[in-house]
Amino acid sequence: MKKLLDIVPRWLPALALMVVIFLFSSRPSDELPNFRGWDYFIKKGAHAVGYGLLALSYLRALPKRNYWLAWLLALLYSTTDEFHQSFIPGRNTSITDVLVFDNLGAAIALLVRYWFDRKRWTLAGFLR
């Protein structure tokens, strides 16, 4: 039981982000906001940020710092989410979202985290 109590809190951020992503992708296209000329950049940027955060939350949840597995889990969830969107009115699946925006978001977030882990910077050490 103690082991379970140690594991569950580590996975809560990942589960919460997965729910948030699922809820956003469940909205029909006519309910989505339109940012006019910035629409493409804001929505694709949201893909990158969302999957970057998801990859970092997977990294936190995994027992060892397994960057490859965190990246792979983020891409697998991205793939299932795109499939889910195919059932939503006005939405479509996009392999570009998975391979470019979600992939780059996850990879860049994990690379930055890896760099900080290698440097072993802390906020206090960084500000000195």
Domain boundaries, the chain: 2-127
Q: Which one, of 62, 81, 84, 83, lies nearest residue 71 by Cα?
A: 62
At 80, list the tokens: 């299932």
What's the chain's average pLDDT? 91
Q: DSSP character for 120?
A: T
Report yes or no: 89 and 28 within 8 Å, Cβ to Cβ: yes
Quote the pTM value: 0.89
At 43, list the tokens: 């929505």
What mean pLDDT comes out for the span 67-74? 98
24-68, pLDDT tens digit by residue? 999 999 999 999 999 999 999 999 999 999 999 999 999 888 999
Whether the pLDDT of residue 94 is over 60: the answer is yes
Alpha helices in the chain (DSSP H): 2-25, 39-61, 67-85, 95-96, 103-119, 123-127
